[in-house]
C-alpha cells in the first residue's frame, strides 16, 4: 500500500475523531493563552527528559518510516507506545522531508488525538507519559495553543501529587505517633492494673492472716475460760464433798506407790486430781477401791485406781474404809 493511500485513510478518519477531541478540549483551549500569560513558568521537572522522537526512529530511512507509519495507523498506534507510533514516524519523516505536504497533513490530523491522550494522562497522574505526549505536540507545533495549559497541568499535577504524598506521609506518621501513644498508654494502664491487683492480693493476704490470728486468739480465750470454769466447778465439788472419815490411829501405810501419769495427759500438760474411797482388809491390803470424784473426769481415774490397789498398810484388827485424794501435776 502506498503512503498516499494510507494518508488518505487517515484523513477520512480525522473529521470524526477531531470532533471528539475538540469537544473534550473546547472549554480549555479558549482560556489557555490568558492562563499562559499570567502563570509563572513551570519548573524544570515539567520538561521531558527524553527527545520527542526516539533515536531508533530517527535512524530509519524514509521508506522504512513510511511503512512503519502506515502499519502504526492501521493498528491504531497513533501516539503510543513510545518509539513505535505514527506520530514519531511522521515527525522523523518531516525532519527528512520538511516540504512534504502529506506528512504535514498527517501530523495535523494526529495532533488532536495526542492532545486527548495527554489530557487523559494528566487526569490519571501519569506525568511521564503526559510529558512524552506534550513533547510530541510541541515538536509538531511549538506554538500549539494547548501547550501552556498542558505544561502547567503537569507542573500543578506534580505539585499536587507531591503535596498529597507529603500529606499522606504526615498522616501515616501522625497515625503511627498516635498508635505509639496509645500503646504507651495501654502499657501504663496495664502496669497500673497489675500493681493494683498485686496490692489487692497483698491486702487480702494480710486480712486473711489477721482473721486467722483473731480466730486463734478467740479459741485460746474460750479454752482458757472453759478451763477456769472447770476448775471452779471442781473446787465447788471438793468443798461440797463430805470430809473423809479419819483413819483409825492404828492405820499406817507401808507402801503407797505413786500412780502412773497418763501419756496423753502428760503430752497435753493436763493436770487434775482424783478422790478415791478404798477399803483396807485386816492384812493391810486394799480390798476395794472406787472413784468418788475426778477432775477432769475419766482422765486419771484408771491410773488412780491401779495405784491404790497396790498400796499396803500394817495389819489392822478390822477392815477400814478411808478416802485419799491423788493429785496429778505434770511437773511433779
pLDDT of residue 240: 64
pLDDT of residue 23: 36
Kindly state the cell numbers that stand for 87: 506520530
Cα gap 165→315, rounded to integer Å: 130
Name the region of 269 (left: φ>0; alpha: ψ -120 to 50; beta: rest).
left
pLDDT of residue 142: 95
pLDDT of residue 106: 96
Q: Three-state SS across the chain?
A: CCHHHHHHHHHHHHHHHHHHHHHHHHHHHCCHHHHHHHCCCCCHHHCCCCCCCCHHHHCCCHHHHHHHHHHHHHCCCCCCCCCCCHHHHHHHHHHHCCCCHHHHHHHHHHHHHHHHHHHHHHHCCCHHHHHHHHHHHHHHCCCCCHHHHHHHHHHHHHHHHHHHHHHHHHHHHHHHHHHHHHHHHHHHHHHHHHHHHHHHHHHHHHHHHHHHHHHHHHHHHHHHHHHHHHHHHHHHHHHHCCCCCCCCCCCCEEECCCCCCCHHHHHHCCCEEEEEEEEECCCCEEEEEEEEEEECCCCCHHHHHHHHCCCEECCCCCCEEEEEEEEECCCC
Q: Contact at 8 Å (CB) between 79 and 117? A: yes
Nearest CA-CA partner of 262 in 324, 304, 223:
304
pLDDT of residue 7: 40
Question: Mind listing the pLDDT tens digit for each residue in 185-229?
Answer: 999 988 999 889 888 899 888 999 889 998 888 988 898 888 888
Give the residues of the chain that fall short of pLDDT 70.
1-49, 235, 238-249, 332
pLDDT of residue 50: 78
pLDDT of residue 242: 55
pLDDT of residue 254: 93
Cα gap 264→212, rounded to integer Å: 27
Q: Which domains occur in the chain, in start order?
A: 3-165 (no CATH), 253-328 (3.30.2420.10)
- Say what the pTM is: 0.44
pLDDT of residue 84: 96
Amino acid at each position: 500500500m502506498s503512503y498516499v493511500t494510507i494518508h488518505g485513510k487517515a484523513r477520512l478518519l480525522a473529521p470524526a475523531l477531531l470532533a471528539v477531541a475538540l469537544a473534550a478540549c473546547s472549554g480549555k483551549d479558549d482560556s489557555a493563552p490568558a492562563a499562559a500569560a499570567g502563570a509563572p513558568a513551570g519548573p524544570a521537572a515539567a520538561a521531558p527528559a527524553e527527545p520527542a522522537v526516539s533515536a531508533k526512529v530517527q535512524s530509519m530511512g524514509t521508506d522504512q518510516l513510511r511503512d512503519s507509519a502506515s502499519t502504526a495507523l492501521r493498528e491504531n498506534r497513533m501516539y503510543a507506545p513510545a518509539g513505535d507510533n505514527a506520530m514519531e514516524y511522521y515527525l522523523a519523516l518531516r525532519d527528512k522531508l520538511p516540504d512534504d505536504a502529506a506528512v504535514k497533513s498527517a501530523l495535523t490530523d494526529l495532533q488532536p488525538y495526542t492532545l486527548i491522550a495527554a489530557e487523559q494522562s494528566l487526569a490519571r497522574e501519569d506525568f511521564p507519559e503526559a510529558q512524552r505526549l506534550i513533547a510530541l505536540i510541541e515538536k509538531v507545533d511549538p506554538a500549539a495553543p494547548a501547550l501552556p495549559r498542558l505544561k502547567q497541568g503537569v507542573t500543578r499535577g506534580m505539585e499536587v501529587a507531591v503535596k498529597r504524598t507529603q500529606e499522606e506521609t504526615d498522616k501515616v506518621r501522625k497515625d503511627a505517633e498516635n498508635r505509639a501513644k496509645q500503646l504507651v498508654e495501654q502499657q501504663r494502664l496495664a502496669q497500673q492494673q497489675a500493681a493494683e491487683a498485686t496490692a489487692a492480693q497483698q491486702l487480702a493476704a494480710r486480712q486473711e492472716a489477721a482473721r486467722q490470728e483473731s480466730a486463734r486468739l478467740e479459741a485460746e480465750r474460750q479454752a482458757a475460760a472453759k478451763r477456769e470454769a472447770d476448775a471452779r466447778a471442781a473446787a465447788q465439788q471438793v468443798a461440797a464433798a463430805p470430809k473423809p472419815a479419819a483413819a483409825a490411829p492404828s492405820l499406817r501405810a507401808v507402801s503407797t506407790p505413786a500412780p502412773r501419769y497418763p501419756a496423753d495427759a502428760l503430752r497435753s500438760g493436763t493436770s487434775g486430781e482424783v478422790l478415791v474411797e478404798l477399803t483396807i482388809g485386816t492384812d493391810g491390803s486394799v480390798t476395794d477401791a472406787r472413784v468418788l470424784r475426778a477432775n477432769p473426769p475419766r482422765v486419771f481415774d484408771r491410773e488412780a485406781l491401779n495405784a491404790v490397789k497396790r498400796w499396803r498398810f500394817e495389819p489392822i484388827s478390822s477392815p477400814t474404809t478411808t478416802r485419799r485424794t491423788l493429785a496429778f501435776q505434770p511437773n511433779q
